[in-house]
Chain A
Amino acid sequence: DGGITQSPKYLFRKEGQNVTLSCEQNLNHDAMYWYRQDPGQGLRLIYYSQIVNDFQKGDIAEGYSVSREKKESFPLTVTSAQKNPTAFYLCASSTGRSLVEKLFFGSGTQLSVL
């Protein structure tokens, strides 16, 4: 079954700690994205990558970092510089070649601060 796998489903961060959220896709998609979802706010783009070894900042990149060493994988690190990390994080992918891009989303990771 093709799709996007995010892990873990729930994650807790201690103050001053960096945590990494995993995102793996087997859809053979070129483009991958990280969104943050907060209650009462629309999805906000953190980072995106259109090809391997290249990524761009989205609207709210501060306090986050990513890597794209493999086509299938796009991990997100929430650093200690992100002062309000509690949110639902969604990874998505798309072909990157369509006029109207269809985003395929993973099931999300809920990050909370201890």
Chain B
Amino acid sequence: QKEVEQDPGPLSVPEGAIVSLNCTYSNSAFQYFMWYRQYSRKGPELLMYTYSSGNKEDGRFTAQVDKSSKYISLFIRDSQPSDSATYLCAMSARTGANNLFFGTGTRLTVIP
């Protein structure tokens, strides 16, 4: 079983829709959770991070962590064509970027 599972998509939505992206994980020790956005043939960039459970909001983006279900989500409100990218979840049990486990990424297309 993979440490982190993420539906690869692809996911297509109309402009303005609410997008829900999800990851599940098996290691109950994970406590640092991140979402990265990667445009085609570019490096990922950090969008959101949360520590332990709960929600975090930043503009149109909301990250949720449900540790009891080992499930994390990223919601995008009022989606825009510029949100079209691959979204990677990442998580770790300990501090330090050398301890990160990445999901495979979900490819999102927002249609104008």
Contact = CB atoms under 8 A, between A and B. Distances in A.
B45 A105 contact: yes
Contacts of B105: 42
B49 A100 contact: yes
A111 B21 CA distance: 30
Q: How many B residues touch the partner, as a band?
A: 20 to 34
Interface string B50-78: 01000000000000000000000000000
Interface residues of A, number: 28
A14 B111 CA distance: 41
Interface of B: 4, 6, 8, 32, 34, 36, 41-46, 49, 51, 88, 90, 95-98, 100-105
Interface of A: 4, 31, 33, 40-45, 48, 50, 56, 58, 88, 90, 92, 94, 98-103, 105-108, 110
